[in-house]
A and B are shown apart, each in its own frame.
Chain A
Amino acid sequence: MLVDWFRIKGRSLHSLAFSFHRLTGIVLMIYLILHLTYLTSLRFGKESYEYLISLTVRPETLPFDLLLLLATVFHGVNGIRLVIHELGFVYEKRNLILYLTFGIVLIVWLYAGYLMFLLIMG
């Protein structure tokens, strides 16, 4: 069942990473569709694009932007971790690499979030 992708009770951090990866993958797919919709709006003129941007790029939507940023950073960094392991490398160090992944995600997210905050709040 699909809910089993998100089963984390009694499981290790590896399962948590798997669940997050699935979840962030779904979020990014929705974002990609929205992103392409925004770009397509350019065909109807600059005004329609700017109207859509004005709806989502503003201080009220900053928390959602930060969450989207977290999803992107997590999916990217964790994806690299998965490729490394799936190619058979550093399997024995998988716990350490998982902690490192969480650490890198947190640092990149906080820094990028700070830049985004400056950009949107002026």
Chain B
Amino acid sequence: MEVEIKVRRFNGEKSYWQKYRVPVLSGMTVLDALLYIKENIDATLSFRYSCRMGVCGSCAVKINNKPRLACETQILQLKDVQIEPINNFRVIKDLITDFDDFFAKHRIVKPYLIRKNDSYEKPVEMIQTPKQLKKYYRYSLCIKCGACNSVCPVSSTRDDYLGPAIMTTVYRFMTDNRDEGKDERFKIVSSERGVWRCHFASECSEVCPKNVEPAKAVQKLRIKSIIYEIKKFFK
């Protein structure tokens, strides 16, 4: 069986649609189809991927107007196949978008455990109960695919807005009992590029391929920020 695949291409100057006919088999993903095109029809087609199994987050593209992981989308489950780069990211070539700013924002919020007295000479085991783990586990599943940021209407109009993925990362560390960097992170998420910008369109949660629920993380972070601001006021 053959399927027609429409791909939005960009050559650095102009953007245009290109159609390809690809023989498909059951079990074939959109990423497999793109690889087929690249290897057999058009070697100039550019796209990003790495793990091929929904772990690295590199292959997020817009499939039939919805951001999805190309490696996790079965082609036979779609009627027509239309592939575009995700929104809110600058397109570099064809389906490849620029993630530099996205990762730079991640670095700003310090996406790692901050410990005040960490000793590498005498390391201490940081024991955690299943209950403590459960608090942030879901949010630690984020694979940084950018799908949530690509549908966020605030991210589309404000470049400085941190966006749902980054704030989910913040929430993940804020709720980890081993972390001691709350004050540093509050300063960032409670600033005008943080939680107050969110207007709860909640589309981020609708498209997240890992069901991380970024919209929930942002709202929870908002409550924490309100408490933080009140406490700061009375200090």
Contact = CB atoms under 8 A, between A and B. Distances in A.
Nearest to B220: A88
A7 B199 CA distance: 15
Interface string A4-42: 110101111011011001000000000000000000000
B72 interface: no
A12 B200 CA distance: 13
A86 B153 contact: no
Contact of A18 (B66, B157, B201, B219): B201
B189 to A, nearest CB: 15
Contacts of B220: 88
A15 B203 contact: yes
A14 B219 contact: no
Interface in A70-118: 82, 85-88, 91, 94
Given A10-B65, A11-B151, A18 B203 contact: yes
B153 A15 contact: yes
Contacts of B223: 87-88
Contacts, number: 63
A82 B201 CA distance: 9
A12 B216 contact: no
A121 interface: no
A86 B202 CA distance: 10
Nearest to A92: B216
Interface in B189-235: 198-203, 206, 213, 215-216, 219-220, 222-223
B132 interface: no
B156 interface: yes
Nearest to B226: A87
A2 B222 CA distance: 25
Nearest to A11: B203
A88 B222 contact: yes
A121 to B, nearest CB: 38
Nearest to B195: A86
A28 to B, nearest CB: 16
Given A4-B87, A5-B156, A87-B223, A14 B202 contact: yes
A10 to B, nearest CB: 3
A17 B215 CA distance: 15
A10 B219 contact: no
B222 A4 contact: no
A12 B201 CA distance: 10
A42 B4 CA distance: 66
B64 interface: yes
Which 6 A-B residue pairs are closest in the complex by CB-CB distance? A10-B65, A4-B156, A18-B201, A12-B206, A10-B66, A14-B202
Interface of A: 1-2, 4-5, 7, 9-12, 14-15, 17-18, 21, 82, 85-88, 91, 94
28 contacts: A4-B153, A4-B156, A4-B157, A7-B87, A7-B153, A7-B156, A9-B65, A10-B65, A10-B66, A11-B66, A11-B151, A12-B203, A14-B201, A14-B203, A15-B151, A15-B201, A18-B199, A18-B201, A18-B203, A21-B199, A86-B219, A88-B219, A88-B220, A88-B222, A91-B213, A91-B215, A91-B216, A94-B202
